[in-house]
Structure 1
């Protein structure tokens, strides 16, 4: 009777207060971290640290406060961040089997659906990655086939630069087109003219999606997808852009089906269609048209975005450091001359140029936080317990700027990659492509593209800024870290 009397005396305000306290207690209990879990900043009830931007500069500051392994709470989920070369190496290389899976990222799950190559797990990931690697290895005549396509595209790119006749121009989508054409040759069996409006639209849609993926609203979508999906914002643009891109890819696949000859595959799509036919009695293998669309998208993005962005950084740094540009050109003139195109066998004889390219990749810092990963089993890292299923981010930026690994981490300095005799030296803390089982699928292709495009451009042109408009070295942070759009003058040498 007493309890009934108390309940009857509750008004609306009392009930709301009671419900709030009850939910608060539930939230505290549910979000309580396990013993020895990495610490982190204080978080808001229900929301966690949703107002903390997940950018590499913020993560660097937090690592200084909480150590190389710390956590943030996003909604009800706790995410672990790993910083510094030693700890990232421990996670990605020494414990590569512990942190090899991908978490479900709601923003990208709308398009990628946990299938394909980049964001899949288990047998799906193993089958699709192995198939893609085999095709890239066997394309044409292996590396020589890829090299030929890059050299051919380098000539088209130089012609496009030449047509500007020394005027200032924005090279952004020329470079994206050039790099995109190489993976297009592998996947579609053909390239696209720089004047192709449909392909230019595709490049712009992808570039916009990559930039918007780093926005605060896009990050909030990953925390509260069921709520945010009903609101306007950049996440809607990202999903719309990817729908248009996948429609384009589906059209390419449909064209291939019309004249597909399983005995004479022309490219990745033809080879994949053959694999679908071969495995039609085994649906669990994951080879179907829907997966082909996503795999094609994975290859397209892996084979274009980071390499093209790095080349844009290359132009920015060459304009800001003309003395280094001249040293590169002197080495090009000495080793290659002007009578032939650069080829990959030249690289071993060009240590300074190789060092400059590596330093551009290091300081360009194109994928600062890498792709998120997930603990595939219970693990211990740096004395902390990381439960199975925990999302982790490896701060690759903190590796590329680790003061214990680099002599002048915040200075553009090709000497980082040269020994006392002026010969190229490898650095263990050079991880722009990540490391371990989830290392970037397009790494070898990107390395070839960076060397051949960079040396061909500097063989043919001297790059300089438009008077009074030196490109800034501060970048734009989206999913990748890219230069602000700039103008360049390419004067024939």
Structure 2
């Protein structure tokens, strides 16, 4: 009897399982059919995908931007992909990206609504994820104007960067010539620069609050494919090991935005209209001036999102680029020696570097440009979206379609950059050894949505890189395996962790 009950239960379980599978298949096929029946006509072509999931599994392994670049060879420079129920248009090659984001910027300068932004910023406030329109223009303009008051784009800001460079050098000396990972050190230094501009003060590197902030940033930007998959497909959050994605985003948001709110409250209590100390004070002053104006976007909530955008953008991208720079230096010691020879010829061993010296350091400038090209920390840029129905290259692209400018396809275009996998600063030097700017290196994007912090980032990269190579030679630890130059594709494209040693230059 017990055996019969056991087999009956098995049959029952199998029947339930089979019924569930049939229902799932019917559901997936129905959704796929409806999405294809209802899809607008004359969309760009694109690779076939799975029912419901679309092309998302094509990105499960390997480099997403590389896969997209390969697809462009088959489907052309304007094609579509499907991620879940979301249709996205991919733009490949410099000419097409420039045409869309610069020549027809009014059509391609909005931001998409997707599963991640609905968690991070459901109201779509701030600057980075805000839609194209009056509010975004108003706050971008005001933020840039305020930042200029604090030295943004001016040499007065170099003092803050040089002070952080000296603190970073002291941290490196504390390693005593032993192996260490410079990644967190660089992140601390770069983040402190943006903290001094936004919050009016810097942190000690071992400060508990600062450590929590840095840990939160690391977790957020390491957000991997499977975590992102669970965000786009909520049902997967119940699968063991895949439900952490949305919670991870909320945890990171809680830490960073919690700190920003604390700073805003503190600034309000100590606010003095005659002593504007930082970006928060600028926003407090502007918000107060709009208190009796009825409808306004200068609110505490909007301010918090603008500050969040500035903090995130100003900390991660520059530090990741510097991390790539030091990786390429230890892998190319001959290039490192040439950079140091140029620095010492112009600055000696004691004169502090300044952006005013940039024209005298063409090889160093070329090296940093090659780092930006090869590192490509945002391979598909920050996602764009169409602000209205538009026709582009003969295709119909509906309003609010997500648009991915594939910067990787520009930076690794073999026709413009022969042998693109080779680290070669000579690409950016003329026959006389003078630096040649190349418009095809666009790590900050192009058009109205170009990165707000471009000037600050370029200043930081030059000053940090030059001052560190002026005082140290960086090498692989004895017997260490060569680090990989294949990045980790999370929110950004960052190097895999590596260690090096630093030898002080007498």
TM-score after normalising by structure 2: 0.89
CA deviation vs aligned residue, 1:355-407 (integer Å, no higher than 9, x gap) = 00000111011111111111112222233221222111111111111112112
- Could you tell me whether the CA contact under 8 Å between 1:31 and 1:77 is conserved in 2? no
What are the equivalent positions in structure 2 for 1:195-214 lying under 5 Å apart?
195-212=206-223, 214=224
- Could you tell me whether the CA contact under 8 Å between 1:396 and 1:432 is conserved in 2? yes
User: CA RMSD of the aligned region, Å?
Assistant: 2.3
The separation in 2 between residues aligned to 1:443 and 1:258, in whole angstroms, is 32
In 2 relative to 1, CA 124–94 (structure 1 residues): closer, same or farther, beyond 3 Å? same
* Greater Cα shift, 418-427 or 317-326: 418-427
2:45 is equivalent to residue 39 of structure 1:
yes
Gaps of 5+ in 2: 1-15
- Could you tell me whether the CA contact under 8 Å between 1:218 and 1:234 is conserved in 2? yes
The aligned residue for residue 233 of structure 1 is 244
2:395 is equivalent to residue 390 of structure 1:
no
Gaps of 5+ in 1: 1-11
The separation in 2 between residues aligned to 1:47 and 1:325, in whole angstroms, is 46
The aligned residue for residue 472 of structure 1 is 484
The aligned residue for residue 483 of structure 1 is 495
- Could you tell me whether the CA contact under 8 Å between 2:377 and 2:494 is conserved in 1? yes
The aligned residue for residue 459 of structure 2 is 448
Q: CA deviation at 1:19?
A: 11
- Number of corresponding residues: 478
- Could you tell me whether the CA contact under 8 Å between 1:407 and 1:416 is conserved in 2? no
Q: CA deviation at 1:35?
A: 2.9
* Greater Cα shift, 54-63 or 266-275: 54-63
In 2 relative to 1, CA 202–26 (structure 1 residues): closer, same or farther, beyond 3 Å? closer
In 2 relative to 1, CA 216–141 (structure 1 residues): closer, same or farther, beyond 3 Å? closer
- Could you tell me whether the CA contact under 8 Å between 1:351 and 1:423 is conserved in 2? yes
User: Helix, strand or coil for the counterpart of 2:448?
Assistant: helix
The separation in 1 between residues aligned to 2:54 and 2:168, in whole angstroms, is 48
The aligned residue for residue 345 of structure 2 is 334
* Greater Cα shift, 128-137 or 139-148: 139-148
The separation in 2 between residues aligned to 1:95 and 1:219, in whole angstroms, is 32
Match of 2:303 among 292, 311, 326: 292
What are the equivalent positions in structure 2 for 1:207-286 lying under 5 Å apart?
207-212=218-223, 214-222=224-232, 224-225=233-234, 227=235, 232-282=243-293, 284-286=295-297
Match of 1:82 among 84, 91, 103: 91
The separation in 1 between residues aligned to 2:484 and 2:51, in whole angstroms, is 40
CA deviation vs aligned residue, 1:430-457 (integer Å, no higher than 9, x gap) = 1111110100111110000000000000
* Greater Cα shift, 449-458 or 233-242: 233-242
The aligned residue for residue 118 of structure 1 is 128
- Could you tell me whether the CA contact under 8 Å between 1:112 and 1:119 is conserved in 2? yes
What are the equivalent positions in structure 2 for 1:415-434 lying under 5 Å apart?
415-434=426-445
The separation in 2 between residues aligned to 1:108 and 1:491, in whole angstroms, is 44
TM-score after normalising by structure 1: 0.92
In 2 relative to 1, CA 219–134 (structure 1 residues): closer, same or farther, beyond 3 Å? farther
What are the equivalent positions in structure 2 for 1:40-79 lying under 5 Å apart?
40-53=46-59, 55-79=64-88
In 2 relative to 1, CA 170–192 (structure 1 residues): closer, same or farther, beyond 3 Å? same
The separation in 1 between residues aligned to 2:206 and 2:171, in whole angstroms, is 10
CA deviation vs aligned residue, 1:96-122 (integer Å, no higher than 9, x gap) = 121000011322332323101100022
